[in-house]
């Protein structure tokens, strides 16, 4: 069993954690149960079994498997502590458990942590944001007969509110903002009409100051408030449409905001509510993660205190409040839950059942994950599924630097085998670099001629400057796949296979009530690419049901208007429209 996994890893093949767990649970004899005390003080138990090992390479593989399990649990669920229950006579298992504090760098400062320790940075920021937390996160080791008492989940879920949200847009001006890693999409509802849409391309990972991230978001909000005020006043002809175009520079947007504010005069009004999704961990309406690639430049600025800078991003809600009527809500969540929330609202409007909740992924710069329970509540957990370690193999691809498109190393943590390099745009780039030189050499040369890939010394990259080529690069591969290029088709089939592994791992860790998945984002914009994802997923999970967030999602008035829009699609702007409804959720109290 172990030798087969090691041989596949050495041959640079994927060794999925789901396959390893299935084999270990069937043939393992050594208990290594993980008891996770969650933020609400309930306890989840994951009864792992480990096999006997022979030699250092087998022991190291088993250790990596254990670390990956712990890392995935903390990335998705977070927790106050993790206790390991084992047989104390098993010295190898005891030593493995006792090393967890060192491996996860429990006693290091946030800025000094690397690799596995990064998830504790997020977890500590979450714990500090909770009102009733004083203890530090800890690992514990127990004998198998001393398992901590399992506490049931606390609290009651409130009743669903999805069906009533669209009506709350009537008589109000509401902004929805979908903040991504390559662009920001905004939608303004004026008295129930989809009045304005705006897309803004950016590269937050290159920002080295908090204001470089928050500044454009505040400017976009100000711009849309001014344009929305003119629309509200029946003066749409005075809107500066050039400032609202996708290619408008920040300077042009600022001039446009100035002009429209002066034109509106006393008619300038504030939003009644703002809903937004931010690509990071959001707990209790506050951005608390701080370990995503979007803050890479800020996190690596040696001249500033990162915690101080990140606190300014955490304060984004307060800064946005200046554009909302007094006492009006600013509602913030992660982009993954926003996708699930949008699907839930549309499902309710279409008369669909809500009794199993919703689970969604956004496929773009990263893999976003959203989970909405049957009653409409969003679990207050990190849900950083894009950090899941799914591949314990692919050893040759570990040798490349994280910034190299050929690498399987996570851009934030340096850990190998995480979903960031498998199911997001980075996964497409990696598979193209792995396969196209051999399978499609002419296409490989074309990629370089168009400037989509380039060499920087010995490192292969997608250029980020002077023009950010990430979006054009992904579009290139999508269009080639949709046109029937066999090598590019197989790239998206393999991404679909990774999605099937993701499904299996999220079922194990999160146990959502629904087994279905809704897919949002650029990957599903072209039906042919979505079909290829489906084909790849079916190779591992024939029964997996996935749905594309396309025009079939459009049931509410705003989403139907988006579906009919001449310039924008549901796949692109569904989360921005969903954010409008999420803002209205703050009006229900």
Q: What is the DSSP letter of 409?
A: B
- 138 pairs with which residues across the strands? 81
pLDDT in tens, 336-376: 899 889 988 998 899 887 777 889 998 988 898 999 887 76
Work out the angle at residue 22's Cα, subtended by the Cα atoms of residues 19 and 28, and round it to the nearest 5 degrees.
125
Contact 352, 340 (CB under 8 A): no
Q: What's the confidence (pLDDT) of residue 206?
A: 92
Q: What's the confidence (pLDDT) of residue 157?
A: 53
For 331, the enclosing helix (H) or strand (E) is strand 330-334
Quick count: other Cβ atoms within 10 Å of Cβ 306? Answer: 18
Q: Tell me the pLDDT of the chain (589 aa) as tens digits.
A: 899 999 999 999 999 999 999 999 999 999 999 999 999 889 999 999 999 999 999 999 999 999 999 999 999 999 999 999 999 999 999 999 999 999 999 999 999 999 999 999 999 999 988 877 677 999 999 998 776 666 655 555 556 788 899 999 999 999 999 998 889 999 999 999 999 999 999 999 999 999 999 999 999 999 999 999 999 999 999 999 999 999 999 999 999 999 999 999 999 999 999 999 998 899 888 898 888 888 999 999 999 999 999 999 999 999 999 999 999 999 999 888 998 899 889 988 998 877 778 899 989 888 989 998 877 678 889 999 999 999 999 999 999 999 999 999 999 899 999 999 999 999 999 999 999 999 999 999 999 999 999 999 999 999 988 999 999 999 999 999 999 999 999 999 999 999 999 999 999 999 998 899 989 888 988 999 999 999 999 999 999 999 887 777 799 999 999 999 999 888 789 999 999 999 999 998 6
Backbone angles phi, psi at 280, to 5 degrees: -165, 175
Closest C-alpha to 181, from 399, 372, 363? 363
What residues contact residue 507 under an 8 Å CB cut-off, 6+ apart? 515
Quick count: other Cβ atoms within 10 Å of Cβ 343? Answer: 26
Secondary structure class of 206 (helix, strand, coil) = helix
pLDDT in tens, 88-112: 999 999 999 999 999 999 999 999 9
Output the CA–CA distances (angstroms, integers) from residue 367 to 106, 119, 479, 494, 550, in the order listed: 27, 17, 20, 15, 18
Q: What does the block give as tokens for 10?
A: 């050495």
Task: Please measure the distance between the N-terminal and C-terminal CA atoms of the chain and give it in whole angstroms.
Answer: 56
pLDDT in tens, 21-66: 999 999 999 999 999 999 988 999 999 999 999 999 999 999 999 9
Residue 376 to residue 587: CA distance in whole angstroms: 15
Q: What's the confidence (pLDDT) of residue 260?
A: 98
Cis status, amide bond into 532, omega within 30 of 0: no
What residues contact residue 441 under an 8 Å CB cut-off, 6+ apart? none
Q: What's the confidence (pLDDT) of residue 133?
A: 65
Q: What does the block give as tokens for 274?
A: 């703002």
Q: What's the confidence (pLDDT) of residue 263?
A: 98
Q: What's the confidence (pLDDT) of residue 159?
A: 65
Buried b / exposed e along 2-18 (16+ C-beta atoms within 10 A): beebbebbeeeebbbbb
Q: What's the confidence (pLDDT) of residue 152?
A: 58
For 258, the enclosing helix (H) or strand (E) is helix 250-264
On the 0-12 / 13-18 / 19+ scale of CB atoms within 10 A, 335 is buried
Contact 386, 367 (CB under 8 A): yes
Residue 386 to residue 361: CA distance in whole angstroms: 10
Contact 358, 343 (CB under 8 A): yes
Contact 298, 207 (CB under 8 A): yes
Quickly tell me which residue has 């024939």 as its tokens: 542
Contact 537, 546 (CB under 8 A): yes
Q: What's the confidence (pLDDT) of residue 110?
A: 92
Q: What does the block give as tokens for 130?
A: 């909770």
- The strand ranges marked E within 385-492 are 454-456, 459-461
Q: What does the block give as tokens for 573?
A: 């702007």
Residue 370 to residue 338: CA distance in whole angstroms: 7
Report the relative pairing of strands 546-548 and 454-456 from DSSP bridges: unpaired
Domains defined for the chain, CATH in brackets: 2-146 (no CATH), 162-332 (3.30.420.40), 369-551 (3.30.420)
What residues contact residue 438 under an 8 Å CB cut-off, 6+ apart? none
For every residue of 122-165, DSSP letters joined together read: HHHHHHHHSTT--SPPEEEEEEGGGPPPPPPPPS-PPPP-GGGT
Q: What's the confidence (pLDDT) of residue 226?
A: 98
Taking each helix axis from N to C end, the angle separating 91-98 and 56-76, rounded to the nearest 10 degrees, works out to 40
pLDDT in tens, 459-500: 999 998 899 999 999 999 999 999 999 999 999 999 999 999
**pTM of this prediction?**
0.85
Contact 186, 342 (CB under 8 A): no
Q: What's the confidence (pLDDT) of residue 323?
A: 98
């Amino acid at each position: 069993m172990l030798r087969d996994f090691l041989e596949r890893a050495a041959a640079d093949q994927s060794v999925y954690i789901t396959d390893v767990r299935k084999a270990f649970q069937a043939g393992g004899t050594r208990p290594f149960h993980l008891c996770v005390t969650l933020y609400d003080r309930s306890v989840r138990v994951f009864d792992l079994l480990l096999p006997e090992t022979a030699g250092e390479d087998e022991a190291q593989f088993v250790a990596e498997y254990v670390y990956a399990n712990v890392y995935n649990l903390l990335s998705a669920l977070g927790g106050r502590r993790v206790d390991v229950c084992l047989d104390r006579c098993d010295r190898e298992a005891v030593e493995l458990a006792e090393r967890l504090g060192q491996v996860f760098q429990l006693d290091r400062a946030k800025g000094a942590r690397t690799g596995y320790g990064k998830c504790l940075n997020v977890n500590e920021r979450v714990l500090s944001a909770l009102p009733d937390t004083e203890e530090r996160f800890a690992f514990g080791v127990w004998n198998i007969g001393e398992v901590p008492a399992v506490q049931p989940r606390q609290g009651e879920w409130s009743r669903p509110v999805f069906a009533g949200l669209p009506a709350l847009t009537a008589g109000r001006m509401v902004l929805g903002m979908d903040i991504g890693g390559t662009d920001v999409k905004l939608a303004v509802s004026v008295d129930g009409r989809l009045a304005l849409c705006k897309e803004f391309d950016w590269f937050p990972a290159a920002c080295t100051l908090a204001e470089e991230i928050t500044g454009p978001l505040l400017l976009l909000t100000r711009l849309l408030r001014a344009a929305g005020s003119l629309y509200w006043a029946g003066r749409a002809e005075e809107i500066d449409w050039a400032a609202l175009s996708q290619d408008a520079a920040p300077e042009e947007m600022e001039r446009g905001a100035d002009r429209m504010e002066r034109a509106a005069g006393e008619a300038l009004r504030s939003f009644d509510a703002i809903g937004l999704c931010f690509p990071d961990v959001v707990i209790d309406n506050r951005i608390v993660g701080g370990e995503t690639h979007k803050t890479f430049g800020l996190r690596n600025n040696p001249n500033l205190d990162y915690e101080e800078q990140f606190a300014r991003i955490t304060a984004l809600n307060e800064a946005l409040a200046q554009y909302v009527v007094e006492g009006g809500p600013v509602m913030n969540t992660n982009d993954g839950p926003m996708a699930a929330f949008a699907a839930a609202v549309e499902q309710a409007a279409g008369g669909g059942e809500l009794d199993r909740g919703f689970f969604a992924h956004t496929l773009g710069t990263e893999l976003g994950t959203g989970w909405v329970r049957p009653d409409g509540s969003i679990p207050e957990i990190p849900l950083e599924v894009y950090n899941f370690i799914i591949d314990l193999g692919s050893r040759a691809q570990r040798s490349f630097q994280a910034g190299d498109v050929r690498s399987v190393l996570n851009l934030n943590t340096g850990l190998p085998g995480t979903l960031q390099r498998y199911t997001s745009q980075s996964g497409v780039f990696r598979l193209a670099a792995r396969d196209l030189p051999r399978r499609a050499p002419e296409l490989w040369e074309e990629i370089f001629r168009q400037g989509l890939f380039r060499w920087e010394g010995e490192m292969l990259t997608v250029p980020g400057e002077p023009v950010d080529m990430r979006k054009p690069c992904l579009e290139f591969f999508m269009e080639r796949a949709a046109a029937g290029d066999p090598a590019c088709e197989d790239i998206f089939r393999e991404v679909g296979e990774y999605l099937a592994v993701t499904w299996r791992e999220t079922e194990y860790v999160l146990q959502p009530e629904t087994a279905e998945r809704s897919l949002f984002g650029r990957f599903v914009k072209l039906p042919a690419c979505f079909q290829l994802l489906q084909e790849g997923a079916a190779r591992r999970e024939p029964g997996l049901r996935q749905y594309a967030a396309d025009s079939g999602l459009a049931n509410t008035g705003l989403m139907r208007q988006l579906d009919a829009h001449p310039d924008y699609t549901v796949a692109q702007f569904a989360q921005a429209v969903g954010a409008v409804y999420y803002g209205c959720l703050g009006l229900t109290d």
